[in-house]
Amino acid sequence: MSIDPTPAKVIQPLDVDYDAIRSSNPHRMVHGVEARLIRLRQQAINLWTALQAYRTSSGIRAVMAKLKEHRALASGGKRVKKLVSVEGRSHWRLFIPANTSHLHVPFLKGELNRLVPHSKGGHELAVVFLSVTKKCPLKCEHCFEWHNLNQKEVIGPEDINRMIENLQSIGATNIAFTGGEPMLRVREMAESIRRYKSKSQFWILTSGFNFTATNAAELRSAGAHGVVVSIDHYDPLAHDQFRGSRGSFRDAINAVKHALDKGFLTAISTCVTRDNANREYIDEFMNMARSLGVGFVQWIEPKAVGHYAMQDVILKPEHQVVLEEALLDYTYAEAFKNHPLVIYHEYYQRKLGCFASGNKMVYVDTDGDLMSCPFCHRKGGSLLSDDFRQSLENLRSTGCSDYAPVIG
């Protein structure tokens, strides 16, 4: 497949009926009595898992107190009143396995261990972002891998498999393939997913490029769990300009359709710049996401790395206030009960500290090197190395330079 990485200087609009590109299998938002019953079941699973992990009433009380503390800091003690239903599976967070999944309890034990240590196992990592290619046909304005794009590949299929094996040896609930554009390695991803799907949930993080109905079917058949599609504006031309590629909006919403059609847990990820950090834009974007049928939308703040390096792009406090108020509305307000749930990592980082740096999450770059996250470009050792565990411990001890440590 040939790739022209150079976008036209002026992006021209396409003559496409975008409103006609919709899935007949949208996610269903669950609320009311049904959501309360699901939550009661989850509370019972939480309690049973805590009993298995701690065995004593004092240990259970300690971890429940920590959970309450986290909830109070993050949301004032409020509980999310809606869930996302995907083919009978219920989700209230993007990277938390459904409570019917065999990965749910290992994930929970890992979460509990981070709050109050125990010796009963569990996954060390909740999410790993694994970059599998340097290649990409787009030139996105905010790309954090800008200086590595379309360079010579370093890792091959066997390297990818070895990294997955190393991650699964310590427990990694979610492994998300990214890049570059991971859909350029769809065959290799499908083979790896088919081989390792029993121990992790596998995700594809894509611009929509090459996410055809055929490729979606192959990945789903292999056992892939979820898809996150990047869409950076509700206006097709504005999105194409931001992504540096004519037709990228068409590809993105087609990817959402194909992912929903095949039964993937499907989300949209969007970079909210200063120009867009206003309530009118947010509401319009969320209405688009609802019409597309996804259950989750992830908001990401721009960072001064990659193509944005040395640029004044960080959101100001007044922009953050707009997003935080919108987050609370879309999470708790009755008026938005049928809109997607919002994932806004920076909000939780400001409240609770950084969850990356090998704590809950880690990023692996296109050389196979461990990094704290996609926006912290400090290499911490190779995941391909025999001593990758020590490299991971070094990342944890170094921590994040932007956010305080997670409370514990």
Count CB-CB contacts under 10 A for residue 68: 11
Region 311-336 average pLDDT? 96
Q: Specify the fold of 118-398.
A: TIM Barrel (3.20.20)
Residue 8 pLDDT more than 60?
A: no
pLDDT band, very low/low/confident/very high, at 404 (cuts 50, 70, 90):
low
What are the boundaries of each domain within the chain?
Answer: 28-92, 118-398
Q: What is the largest CA-CA distance in the chain?
A: 65
pLDDT for 402 equals 64
Question: What average pLDDT does the chain have?
Answer: 93
Q: How many Cα atoms are found within 13 Å in the side-chain-facing hemisphere of 34?
A: 12
The CA distance from 144 to 179, in Å, is 10
At how many degrees (to 10) do helices 236-243 and 248-261 cross?
100
Region 317-335 average pLDDT? 96
Structure-model confidence comparison of residues 148 and 168, the more confident one: 168
71-80, 347-356, 387-396: the lowest-pLDDT one: 71-80
The CA distance from 269 to 274, in Å, is 16
Count CB-CB contacts under 10 A for residue 321: 12
pLDDT for 72 equals 85
Owner of token pair 């609930």 = 173
Region 257-271 average pLDDT? 99
Structure-model confidence comparison of residues 285 and 378, the more confident one: 285
In single-letter form, the type of residue at position 309 comes to A
The CA distance from 209 to 182, in Å, is 9
Could you tell me if 129 and 236 are in contact, meaning their C-beta atoms sit under 8 angstroms apart? no
Tokens standing for 335?
């008026």
pLDDT band, very low/low/confident/very high, at 3 (cuts 50, 70, 90):
very low
What does DSSP assign to residue 328? H
The CA distance from 155 to 132, in Å, is 7
Question: Radius of gyration of the chain from Cα atoms?
Answer: 20
pLDDT for 9 equals 55
Region 189-195 average pLDDT? 99
> How distant is the alpha carbon of residue 3 from its chain centre?
26
E-strand stretches of 187-335? 201-206, 226-230, 265-271, 296-300
pLDDT band, very low/low/confident/very high, at 10 (cuts 50, 70, 90):
confident
Read off the pLDDT of residues 202-243 as tens digits, 9 standing for 90 and up.
999 999 999 999 999 999 999 999 999 999 999 999 999 999
Q: Any idea how long the chain is?
A: 408
High-pLDDT (> 70) share of the chain, %: 96
pLDDT band, very low/low/confident/very high, at 356 (cuts 50, 70, 90):
confident
At how many degrees (to 10) do helices 213-222 and 248-261 cross?
40
Could you tell me if 368 and 358 are in contact, meaning their C-beta atoms sit under 8 angstroms apart? no
Could you tell me if 27 and 87 are in contact, meaning their C-beta atoms sit under 8 angstroms apart? no
Read off the pLDDT of residues 34-73 as tens digits, 9 standing for 90 and up.
999 999 999 999 999 999 999 999 999 999 999 889 888 8
State the sign of the Cα–Cα–Cα–Cα dihedral 142, 145, 148, 151: negative
Region 308-334 average pLDDT? 96
State the sign of the Cα–Cα–Cα–Cα dihedral 354, 272, 185, 150: negative
In single-letter form, the type of residue at position 329 comes to D
pLDDT band, very low/low/confident/very high, at 399 (cuts 50, 70, 90):
confident
Count CB-CB contacts under 10 A for residue 205: 22
